[in-house]
Chain A
Amino acid sequence: NAGVTQTPKFRVLKTGQSMTLLCAQDMNHEYMYWYRQDPGMGLRLIHYSVGEGTTAKGEVPDGYNVSRLKKQNFLLGLESAAPSQTSVYFCASSPSGAISPLHFGNGTRLTVT
C-alpha cells in the first residue's frame, strides 16, 4: 500500500522553465491538495480538488495550475518558474470532509535559479 506518491523527489529549474509535479494516491480518496512549505511559514495551500474533474484555488495559487483528470492523480504545473517558487511541495489526500486527517506524500524539493 503506497499511500501518496510524489514524483519527482528533487528538481532544479532555471527561471522561466516549466514543469509538472505528479501526485498519485491509491486510497480512493476524494479530496486532494497541493501545499508548499517554506521555513517559518508552515504549510500554505496552493490548490485543492474535491473530486475528479474539479479544482479550486487555495491561499497562494498565483503562478501555479492544477488538473485532476483521474481520481487518483493530481498534477501541479508551473508554467514559468520564478525563484520565489523555490520550496518544498507536498501533496495530500483525504477521504472527505473536515473531520478527516490528511495523508501526505514525502514531498518534492524544487529549486529555481
Chain B
Amino acid sequence: AQSVTQLGSHVSVSEGALVLLRCNYSSSVPPYLFWYVQYPNQGLQLLLKYTSAATLVKGINGFEAEFKKSETSFHLTKPSAHMSDAAEYFCAVSYSGGYQKVTFGIGTKLQVIP
C-alpha cells in the first residue's frame, strides 16, 4: 500500500523567506511523486513531478523538490517566498501498475506574511 504524509497542515513564512513544505511517502515499489498547488476556488495544478530521472526536480514558479530514497522524502522548497505563493499544496504518489492510482496527502496551507 502507498501513503503520503505531509507534516504541517499550515505553514507561515515571511515574504522573501525560504519555503519548505515536507512530504514523506510510503511505497513498496519505486514511486512517482508529484506536487500540486491549489489556489482558492480552483482545481489543482501540477507544480512538478519526479519520475525516476534526476533526483532534483525543478517546477514552475521557482519551486523545486528533491527525491531522497533513503529518507523516503520529497520536500518542496522555494528560496524566496512571494505573496502570490499563498495557496494549498498537495503531495501525491503513484506507481506503475494496472491503472494509475494516485494517493494524495492532506495538504499544507501556505501563508505568506508581508
Spell out B's residues near A (CB within 8 Å): 9, 32, 34, 36, 41-46, 49, 51, 90, 94-97, 99-102, 104-107
Q: At the interface, is chain B mostly helix, strand, loop or mixed?
A: loop
Q: List 18 A-B contacts (CB under 8 A).
A: A31-B99, A40-B106, A42-B90, A90-B43, A92-B43, A96-B100, A97-B96, A98-B94, A98-B100, A98-B101, A99-B49, A102-B44, A104-B36, A104-B44, A104-B45, A105-B43, A106-B43, A107-B42
Contacting pair B42 A94 (CB below 8 A):
no
On chain A, the residues within 8 Å of B45 by CB distance are 104
Q: Looking across the interface, which residue of chain B has its beta carbon closest to that of A94?
A: B100
Apart from A45-B101, A98-B32: 4 A-B pairs, beta carbons within 8 A: A4-B43, A100-B100, A101-B34, A101-B49
Number of interface residues of A (CB under 8 A): 26
Q: How far is the CA of A101 from the CA of B90 in the complex (A)?
A: 13
On chain B, the residues within 8 Å of A90 by CB distance are 43-44
Pick from B32, B41, B46: contact of A99, CB under 8 Å:
B32
Interface residue A43 (Cβ < 8 Å from any Cβ of B): yes
Contacting pair B106 A42 (CB below 8 A):
yes
Interchain nearest-CB distance for B10 vs A (Å): 11
Greatest chain A CB density within 10 A among B36, B51, B90, B99 is at: B99
